[in-house]
Amino acid sequence: MTAPIGVIGGTALAELTALEAAGNPAPASTPYGPSSGPLVCGRFAGRDTCFVMRHGPGHRLAPHRINYRANIRALADAGCRQVIAVAAVGGITPAMRAGRIVVPDQIIDYSWGRAHSFHDDPAGGSLDHIDFTEPYDSALRTAILETARRLDLAPADGGVHGVTQGPRLETAAEIDRMERDGCDIVGMTGMPEAALAREAGLDYACCAVVVNKAAGRSGGSAIHAEIEATLTRGMANVERILEQLLPSL
């Protein structure tokens, strides 16, 4: 039996509109608490798929309040072995223009205070220091990129994903620092999600949409208007990618 594909929906991707759910979706129960939102499992583009809303119904969970461990554990318990994480991000470097699809290949984690491991409970078993040199699965990254190219979406192949604490947006000085550190895009939810997926033995990759220029790269107060103008179109392109990609995995 083919394992289902896990999809984690971010900002403006609260559902997969073509996902035919089997049964009545409900938050998954895990040893780490319930998942952020209902774990919706069914058929999408002819492929078994499990979808979870990262921020929960109504986009109510701030990035530092998301139960990342429960979401990853729920997908693993549902039989998923590959997970595609969708994220809305800000563009730092000039190539990361609004509306562009980015498939990052590296992460710098600036977040703090989040439950970031399955192995931090002394009563929970042996400690495991995962190899996180390459935080995203290369084969899954390649599959996303090739699909986006077939759809003429000109995706960015690679980039460093800087993960901040949120929920506020960053200052111009913070973005300047992140660019000096080598970051190309900035988001708030890429960690500890990626590391937890590695601990759980899941192949994980991110399909990000640049929805605005980061602080100091655009017109300040105009940033929210830029986000709103870009989100809908960008997430529609993500769904197009998923519809073409998932049957081939």
Contact 139, 248 (CB under 8 A): no
Q: Is 119 known to sit in a ligand binding site?
A: no
Structural element, H or E, at residue 223? helix 223-245
Q: Is 67 known to sit in a ligand binding site?
A: no
**Cis ω for the linkage preceding 104 (within 30 of 0):** no
Q: Is 93 known to sit in a ligand binding site?
A: no
Contact 103, 224 (CB under 8 A): no
What are the angstrom distances between the C-alpha of 117 and each of 32, 51, 198, 199?
Answer: 11, 22, 10, 8
Q: Is 212 known to sit in a ligand binding site?
A: yes
Q: Is 188 known to sit in a ligand binding site?
A: yes
* Residue in 134, 152, 148 with CA at minimum distance from that of residue 244: 148
How far is 164 from 223, CA to CA, in rounded Å? 17
Taken as a whole, the chain contains a residue count of: 249
Structural element, H or E, at residue 173? helix 172-181
Q: Is 55 known to sit in a ligand binding site?
A: yes
Point out the annotated binding site for phosphate: 11, 54-55, 189
Residue ranges for the known binding site for substrate are 188, 212-214
Q: Which residues are annotated as a binding site?
A: 11, 54-55, 188-189, 212-214
